[in-house]
Structure 1
Amino acid sequence: MKLRIKRAPNNPIIVPGKYDWRMATVFNPGVIYENGRVYLYERTAGQLRPFICYIGMMESDDGVNFIHSSDKPVFTPAMAGSKYGSVQDPRITKIEDTYYMTYAYRPFAWSSHPTGTGVPESFQTDFPGFDGDPMKNQTRSGIAISKDLYHWQHHVWATPVELDDRDVILFPEKINGRFTMLRRPLQFVGEKYGTDKAGIWISYSEDLQNWTDTELIAKPEFQWESNRIGGSLPPLKTDEGWLVIYHGVETINETTKMVVYRAGAMILDIDNPSKVLYRSSKFILEPEEYYEKYGLYIPSVVFPTGGYIHEDQLSIYYGVCDTAIARASVNINDLLTFIKENSTN
């Protein structure tokens, strides 16, 4: 079957501007749907040099037209430990009576120089107290918590400081009494780890602090994900299992660092999410529209990080070219059928 994904007619629905902390870019939002209202957490930056990122909050009654909840970010690098840092790519889940935000964190923001053809040239920035050693400035992932969606505080680090480990995403409920987390440790490649490129791993914890050893559940298999893969939006519970939307990166030209980011999908076992039941060999979303192909930061990027199911529709919110935010929707039953029909399992 041909999958029909409908893009919002007024995409991109959220663009930079208005406040100094979001003048350059807004992208990769976390999203949660509560009591008929959509709450969206945007990754923003006021400039590229240094590329200090913040997390702003917006809300909407229709999921398309958003207003800011505050004229200031709801989560900042200083709240994570360093005012010179960067907080990135929030994913939002609710477990019992608490909201959780997983986020990527770099203690000292890079300075970025977009090339217009591929991944930007980025350099360590001179900051007080930082000697420029990249090993002291790797991306780790943290967990922030809130009781009301508006006020957040850092709760715990989900990954160790010595790992570059992002795309960390919590499942929206405990499984067999444990928190469950997808992750993408960049250094876990080679014969020892069973994959030549970065893949999707899973860990479990009873307290969010002590995690089981990581287990590889998916590695790059298809041409459109030949560079690496990683989790995208928080897993969604369906009758078929846990629906996981993930991103795949294909390198088109190594010299110019030209890449294409697409979105794929798989279904994990409800009681044992370490087990992949179905994984589509075909991607479900790729850059097609102008705003998905051309932007300030990286061309040819669709990067989903938030979504929800309401009635029979899955709404997906995704960053485009690390520049703006777009929305698409698809019938959830059609998507599950598409995954199963194109599964290699």
Structure 2
Amino acid sequence: MIIKRNEHNPIVMPGGYEWRKAAVFNPGVIRVDGKFYMYERAAGSLRPFQTSIGLLESDDGVFFTAVKDVPIFKAEMLGYPGGSVEDARVVHMDGTYYMCYALQPYSFDCWPTGTGLPSYYPEHYSEWADNGVEPMITRSGIAVSKDGIHFTPHSYTTPAEIDDRDNALFPEKIGGRFALLRRPMQYVGEKYGTKSPGIWISYSDDLLEWKDPELVAVAENPEWEGTKIGAAATPVKTDRGWLVLYHGVDSQSIYRVGALMLDLEDPRKVIARTRLPIMGPEAYYERIGLVLPNVVFPTANLVVDDMLYIYYGCCDTSIGLATVSVKELVDHIFNQR
């Protein structure tokens, strides 16, 4: 199995507008009527490190241009003018666009260390303490749109009191219900059946009320995913199961990519899984960046003529594209058993 990085990588770089001049990363990407739409996460500075969602389009999935010269989705639309919206994962179902997003409600600064996780500084932004919120906590939600451009906040998918992100909505209902992958950081310990944050699933009839999450997958290989794992991109339906890319983080904060297969009718069941990562930081733009080194973080994948297009954030700085045969990847996952 060969995952091929695009020769034009990074295919999207920061710049052009003030609100995206520092970093662009972790995009959602969909393809509608032959056109690719990318929902990029963008930052204009590191102080504060405030991110919003911009929209790009492409005919070939490689060369993208801006649809709007302003962000299409901001934390201000949720009532948090100093906050950030992050890591859009978008699906298109029955004429409606559904955008999963993560929200950090108040401002913070980002100081890269060059050796691992950056240092974040929320302390001098009084909103965190004034509102009794744990600094840097992240809540997830869904916004909806009929045209893919003008989004309206619809509902939160996670409670306000826990840090829960990496939400990814399945692209179709399962058993008549919406299904959502999550990663609640506090669900760790004997009570939850995992020693580190893992991948969970919730169901809903209306996107408003969500059933208690159920554990799907936990970290199994401490060498590359020992710190935490989380759903990377929207699940892809194949004839052998739901294909889910996920990210694994090791003790050195290096982000790599694994893959698993979930049962089509009951995606709580993992039916196959890679033992080793299928992608890791190799190219210079995956090892060195403005914010966080050694990061390959896919947040979108889609199928074009049996090729899986994988869009991923590189070091929280730029966006890359890699491709692989869906059949070869699925065969590879099942051959791990």
Common topology (TM > 0.5): yes
Alignment of 1:1-345 (within 5 A): 3-127=1-125, 129-131=127-129, 134-135=133-134, 138-222=137-221, 223-252=223-252, 259-343=253-337
- SS of the residue corresponding to residue 131 of structure 1 reads helix
**If the length of structure 1 is used for normalisation, what is the TM-score?**
0.95
Gaps of 5+ in 1: 253-258
How big is the shift at 1:109? Answer: 2.5
How big is the shift at 1:318? Answer: 0.1
How big is the shift at 1:110? Answer: 1.8
Check the 8 A contact 1:201/1:216 in 2, yes or no.
yes
Q: Once the two structures are superposed, what CA deviation does each residue of 1:214-258 show, in whole Å capped at 9, x if it has no partner?
A: 110100001210110000110000011100001000113xxxxxx
Check the 8 A contact 1:244/1:268 in 2, yes or no.
yes
How big is the shift at 1:27? Answer: 0.1
- SS of the residue corresponding to residue 135 of structure 1 reads coil
How big is the shift at 1:131? Answer: 2.5
Q: Once the two structures are superposed, what CA deviation does each residue of 1:176-197 show, in whole Å capped at 9, x if it has no partner?
A: 0000000000000011111010
Name the aligned partner's letter for residue 28 of structure 1: N
Cα distance in 2, alignment partners of residues 68 and 161 from structure 1? 33
- SS of the residue corresponding to residue 332 of structure 2 reads helix
- SS of the residue corresponding to residue 254 of structure 2 reads strand
**If the length of structure 2 is used for normalisation, what is the TM-score?**
0.97
- SS of the residue corresponding to residue 32 of structure 1 reads strand
How big is the shift at 1:123? Answer: 1.4
Name the aligned partner's letter for residue 278 of structure 1: A
Cα distance in 2, alignment partners of residues 206 and 25 from structure 1? 37
Cα distance in 2, alignment partners of residues 164 and 337 from structure 1? 35
Check the 8 A contact 2:106/2:127 in 1, yes or no.
no
Cα distance in 2, alignment partners of residues 148 and 340 from structure 1? 38
Name the aligned partner's letter for residue 165 of structure 2: R
Q: How many residues align?
A: 335
Check the 8 A contact 1:95/1:174 in 2, yes or no.
no
Q: Once the two structures are superposed, what CA deviation does each residue of 1:74-106 show, in whole Å capped at 9, x if it has no partner?
A: 001101220100000000011222110000001
Percent identical among aligned pairs is: 51
Check the 8 A contact 2:122/2:135 in 1, yes or no.
no
